[in-house]
Amino acid sequence: MEPNTLNSEIDDHAMSDRVLGNLSTAILMVDGAMHVVFSNQAAENLLKESFGQMRGKCLSKIFANGNELAGMVEEAYTSEALITARQMLLLSPGKTTITVDVTVTPILDANQVLIELIPMDRYLRIDRDAAIKENHDVTKQMVRGLAHEIKNPLGGIKGSAQLLARELPEETLTEYTNIIIEETDRLTSLVDRMLGPNTLPKKGTITIHEVLERAAKLIELETEDLLVLRDYDPSIPNLDLDPEMMVQALLNVVRNSMQALENTPHPTITLTTRIERQFTISGKRHKVVVRLDIKDNGPGIPDEIKDHLFYPMISKRPGGTGLGLTFAQSIITQHGGMIEFDSEPGETVFTIFLPLSKE
């Protein structure tokens, strides 16, 4: 083989790896014995397993219930034909069930089979997140209009009570005007909280772990029984964010988890940070994002409020205002991120995604 021809083949091979590596579709390549010889970044994100961990493993070692997928690979390999399947359930290495559309394509000249995994869960979540954001924007406009209509008469009531207090003949009667003033102040404060943050973030460069630790330590001071576990990725670079606003957002989410654990034996919250690649937030694809999971072992979120959890005044806790998660969502959105959740009895996970400013 001539040197130029060899170099051309090497360049073509490198180009193929780059193309496959940058696809948003999860790609696995296996040989005739069903051992993994290649995976792209999207597959690593989907399966929560690096290529180094998967390299050389058989499909049956990667997917606990991979018999159907293995059968498709064998059929494609022997029949030399493309095979597809819709909405296949696979148990990933992290013991998470994922729903994927699968396409298996034999690569005849390489004696290999290419497996494409398109996660339906993720596309459904993108649609759901877009709907949540749209509803959040509509709700915010409604709340702003309502707040304007409420705060104007409250200001009049408070001013009138203050003038009346000056004219009362007996000082003991001011007790009643003081009640009026205090209650109008309380209602005004409630309306302001419903509106969420009214200032732009004052961003600075800081590690997400410093912000997260401040929120975690505040929660640990509030309760003695709670166990807070950390699983941090120390390689995550610094982010551009407003530390005070982000501490408040994280504190609201962690406190929400803490309050859900009130009647749970051995209450535990686990804080996890990881890097994810090729991730879409509000229709924009980011090369790298920081993922932050806040997991608790509580009873789970009631089904009847799951679709409206981030709306104001939605709460199942006695005395709860339902503003904590709404406030957190507003702050995270201001930082170009998103928040979502997954909940079942015994495990609820709130996940926050924040894009890296320098990608």
Tokens of 251: 């504190």
* Interhelix angle 243-260/324-334, nearest 10 degrees: 150
| pLDDT tens profile 239-277 | 999 998 899 899 989 999 998 898 889 999 999 999 988
Q: Residue written as tokens 């993994």?
A: 36
Given a contact cutoff of 8 angstroms between Cβ atoms, the answer to whether 229 and 264 are in contact is no
Cα(first)–Cα(last) distance of the chain, in Å?
41
Taking the C-alpha atoms of residue 258 and residue 313, their distance in angstroms, rounded to an integer, is: 19
Neighbouring residues of 253: CB distance < 8 A, sequence distance ≥ 6: 294, 324, 325, 328, 339, 350, 352
Q: Nearest to residue 140, comparing CAs of 340, 315, 332, 327?
A: 327
Q: Is residue 313 pLDDT above 70, yes or no?
A: no
Pairing of strands 26-31, 204-206: unpaired
* Mean pLDDT, residues 123-127 taken together: 63
Neighbouring residues of 256: CB distance < 8 A, sequence distance ≥ 6: 324, 325, 350
Given a contact cutoff of 8 angstroms between Cβ atoms, the answer to whether 153 and 172 are in contact is no
Question: What are the backbone angles phi and psi of residue 66, rounded to the nearest 5°?
Answer: -85, 20
Taking the C-alpha atoms of residue 105 and residue 72, their distance in angstroms, rounded to an integer, is: 10
SS3 label, residue 322:
coil
Given a contact cutoff of 8 angstroms between Cβ atoms, the answer to whether 165 and 180 are in contact is no
Residue 210: the pLDDT is 94
Q: Is residue 11 pLDDT above 60, yes or no?
A: no
Given a contact cutoff of 8 angstroms between Cβ atoms, the answer to whether 51 and 44 are in contact is yes
DSSP state for residue 305 in the 8-state scheme:
H
| pLDDT tens profile 189-241 | 777 766 666 667 888 899 999 999 999 999 998 888 899 999 999 999 999 99
Residue 7: the pLDDT is 46
Residue 21: the pLDDT is 64
Tokens of 103: 């396409």
Tokens of 64: 């606990």
pTM, 2 dp: 0.61
| pLDDT tens profile 132-177 | 666 666 666 766 777 777 777 888 888 888 888 888 888 777 888 8
Q: Residue written as tokens 């997140």?
A: 129
Q: Nearest to residue 61, comparing CAs of 76, 72, 49?
A: 49
